[in-house]
Structure 1
């Protein structure tokens, strides 16, 4: 089965950052990299000369990206291609047999200040394979190689767990498994009339720690070479992942529902606000 890496490019800074990230990932996986540029359908009233000018410019952009990546990584098999159509639909079709789709967070048409462009947002929910969203600039410094996994210890997502452990193994990185929890309902509301005793809070947290340990047990046995740091946090899941993203190389989250479904609240928030690349992994 072909499990190459696909990167969507459009000449923007986030697109170029995504292409370089995808190249490093393809090299680590020992697979090929496919750079795909999709242009929206041309309006019928546009002069033929304008269409030809666009086509030649797109060819130069794709060829230049292939040349630059090949120069930096001479052992990597890199191909470039162009397509015309609705960008999200065309890229979803292009990654049908791929193992990974990599996108910049915003393209050339994005508004300054928006964290996530419409094409990236749509593909994050509908692509048939895991999607990695790469920002043009990193916020914070990666102190050591670390992959952050968002995990619901009560309902662990197997596909996201597998992706995170495999990525950490390939990179020789530590895996931080982040499980967020809330106080029981009577205590969770800001106006709660009950005071939380420290021993009660500690007992509840111990339960969450044990749940996380149980959820990770089989995966630790399967990947003994991966150093795992369990991290239980009294936050919302999205807030916990965004906070831990500042020093990470990658955040991994399950997106649930399988290919073609809308992006859920937690992965949506993480994709918008995380300060490092984010991998959104669909359940099979």
Structure 2
């Protein structure tokens, strides 16, 4: 199934529904996002009954309960967003694969930060972890309050020109919300260093050679999105994940490029990406990074 594209140029929004409070928060965020984009919202519930040894009666009961959950969720969304087209999909397959299939080639997947299982509200659930590790389209992990306070900014964590796709996605999200975009580059340093540097509009830089690629990235985004208000900042920190988690306090959405850890077979996430998905204070959108330069982050 191909994902539709709305006035924003972004694909439709696909969200997982499992009855947990985290999933309900994700649905609330996804419905708002789909309304902003002008695309439909797809609610997906996966029973994973293909992998279970259930009797026919048990399977039927499971499917009835799943349909009821989808119907209730769709009704709640329609009450709040009466003009939004809502599609329901019930899958017998595993949750992660079902979400990726519904997103097709251009949709955005939205998941809560934990499901019905798990042992800590801080940790990303197994379905969310599998989804972000394997997805080839953007994935948003919804963190923060059910009705988050609007801070009026989208933040993109960038490192070099390989993050142009991430910066573009963040620019589109900022334009949807009519808020500024911040590009933040955090350089990991030893305990002896910790100075903060800010760069924009040709300001004097510390470590100019190191930050020049990010400054050039900001210029490319400004050229492509001239109507966008953009600020580019650089920071040194002993902990790159910690600095980005702190920055997420002041963002409506944190957009990051998806890098894979080297040396592993199959999908894996870098340390910084995993830390943000587990501890950020706002929703995190992971943009798959293709091609060369998949360093660990």
TM-score, structure 2 normalization: 0.81
Matched residue, 1:238: 241
Choose 109-118 or 28-37, whichever is displaced more.
Answer: 109-118
User: Residue 229 of structure 1 is aligned with which of 228, 231, 235?
Assistant: 231
Distance in 1 of aligned mates of 2:145 and 2:252: 13
Matched residue, 1:180: 186
Distance in 2 of aligned mates of 1:54 and 1:158: 44
Q: How does 1:116-265 map to 2 (within 5 A)?
A: 116-135=124-143, 137=145, 142=149, 144-153=151-160, 155-183=161-189, 188=190, 190=191, 204-235=206-237, 236-256=239-259, 261-265=267-271
- CA contact under 8 A between 2:144 and 2:282: conserved in structure 1? no
User: Residue 43 of structure 2 is aligned with which of 27, 35, 40?
Assistant: 35
Distance in 2 of aligned mates of 1:197 and 1:63: 53
Distance in 2 of aligned mates of 1:64 and 1:272: 29
- Measured after TM superposition, the shift of residue 256 of structure 1 is 3.1
Distance in 1 of aligned mates of 2:149 and 2:251: 5
Which protein, 1 or 2, shows the higher relative CO under an 8 Å CA cutoff with sep ≥ 6? 1
Deviations 1:38-93 (A, max 9, x none): 0122633x444333322221111100111111111111110112111222222222
- Measured after TM superposition, the shift of residue 196 of structure 1 is 10
Q: How does 1:97-112 map to 2 (within 5 A)?
A: 97-112=105-120
Q: Does 1:274 align with 2:280?
A: yes
- Measured after TM superposition, the shift of residue 208 of structure 1 is 4.6
CA change 1:203–1:225 in 2 (3 A) is closer
- CA contact under 8 A between 1:142 and 1:248: conserved in structure 2? no
Aligned residue for 2:69, secondary structure, equals helix
- Measured after TM superposition, the shift of residue 218 of structure 1 is 1.5
- CA contact under 8 A between 1:147 and 1:176: conserved in structure 2? yes
Which structure has the greater CA radius of gyration? 1
- Measured after TM superposition, the shift of residue 178 of structure 1 is 0.7
- Measured after TM superposition, the shift of residue 114 of structure 1 is 4.3
How many residues align? The count is 268
Matched residue, 1:24: 32
Instruction: For structure 2, list consecutive stretches of 5 or more residues without a partner in the other structure.
Output: 5-10, 197-203, 261-265, 291-297
- CA contact under 8 A between 1:142 and 1:247: conserved in structure 2? no
- CA contact under 8 A between 1:6 and 1:98: conserved in structure 2? no
- CA contact under 8 A between 2:26 and 2:110: conserved in structure 1? yes
Deviations 1:171-224 (A, max 9, x none): 1111111101244xxxx3x4x7xx9999xxx96445455443222101112212
Choose 1-10 or 248-257, whichever is displaced more.
Answer: 1-10
Distance in 1 of aligned mates of 2:194 and 2:132: 39
